[in-house]
Amino acid sequence: MNNIVTQLQGDFDLMKSWFEHLHRHPELSMQEAKSAQYIAEILRSFGEYEVETDIGEYGIVASLKVGDSDKVIGLRADFDALPIQEDNDLDYASETPKVAHLCGHDAHSTMLLAAAKYLAEKKSFNGTVRLIFQPAEETMQGAPAMIEDGLFERFPVDAIFGMHNMPGLEAGKLYFTEGDTMAAVDNWEVEITGKGGHGSTPEHTIDPIVAGSSLVMALQTIVSRNIAPEHKAVVTVGAFQSGQAANVIAHTAILRLSIRTTTPEDREMVNHNIRRLIRQQCESFGCTSEIREGVPGAVLTNDPTETRRAAQIAREAFGDDHVFEGGPSYLGSEDFAFMLQKVRGTYCFLGNGDGQFVHHPKYIFNKEILPMGAAYWVALAEGYLV
């Protein structure tokens, strides 16, 4: 552990500069043009990588071959931000109103960039490293877009690996979970249309807010009355938008749903019941409805063999006290799940220590774990490509 981490500590100031730049200048999913350009310029500055850009809109793949082995490893990081106003007093706080890196994707890319620099300088592996920088994880668009653009045909890999920082887990420790690890998420938008009018004459209107309010409450019964207690699922109405004035009955209402399930059977049942409730609730109030479904969800399933292999490489590099197997699972989602459907691999968690959870306005990434995250990527590449 000391050798890799100590050497990467020498680049800590450089890592902080990359991280703080990305944090100051966040960009939303599928709008990451400047972030992608910044990352690509850093990769090209190392002088060793073949850098390809604009894969699935803003995706980047940087490849480096050393030696004569045909083995290829893929290491993936994301770099999109969230539509949330940051509430932190930081000298590198977001400079973009209502947009911020409150999930740590800026740090994920920083750690992979630091590993890229180290691997290019040391070249202590035999095979090909492909560094995959992915846009639009938050909207579940980025991985499917890169795959659709020929990611694995143009840049084949034998196995692929991902990592996410996780508040609440011990800082700098790595956690590995075999099998189903993160939930499938379906993001839907529901538009309810009634008949608008003056607030003083409700008899001449059909109020979509009343219909939407009833629907919100009805949706709460799906998990509690249909999901087996030993399973996990959640239906969240994250946005309910309608009207502007107190004396106007709105014509339409918008609900945005986040639907999370952990088995294909539960996903099919939950989504079916949501469609049924939307139709029936809206009809009962005299409203019509339209459902706009996002990218279909997928459970993130770690390959058991690759999970054990990655954990063993990490244990040999950093010691038993830094590696936990049988790690946690979450109802959070990850579009890395789509990559794992195409190529075997695993997705681990890097402890971020105590603090607010991701997507909170006061979430802060722990910069002190940047070298450890970068060191994991280095150890994995060197351990896999022997």
What residues are annotated to the active site? 80, 137
Judged on CB neighbours under 10 Å (0-12, 13-18, 19+), 10 is: exposed
Specify binding-site residues for Mn(2+): 103, 105, 138, 164, 359
Look up residue 340 and give its two tokens: 């794992």
The total of other beta-carbon atoms located within 10 Å of residue 145's CB is 22
Tokens 């560094």 belong to 131
Judged on CB neighbours under 10 Å (0-12, 13-18, 19+), 29 is: buried
Bridge partners (DSSP) listed for residue 187? 258
Look up residue 325 and give its two tokens: 């197997």
Specify binding-site residues: 103, 105, 138, 164, 359
- Longest CA–CA separation in the chain, Å: 79
Q: Please report, for residues 213, 273, 338, 349, the alpha-carbon distance to residue 218 in angstroms, rounded to integers and kept in the order given.
A: 9, 10, 31, 35
Q: What angle do CA 262, 138, 52 make, to 5 degrees?
A: 115
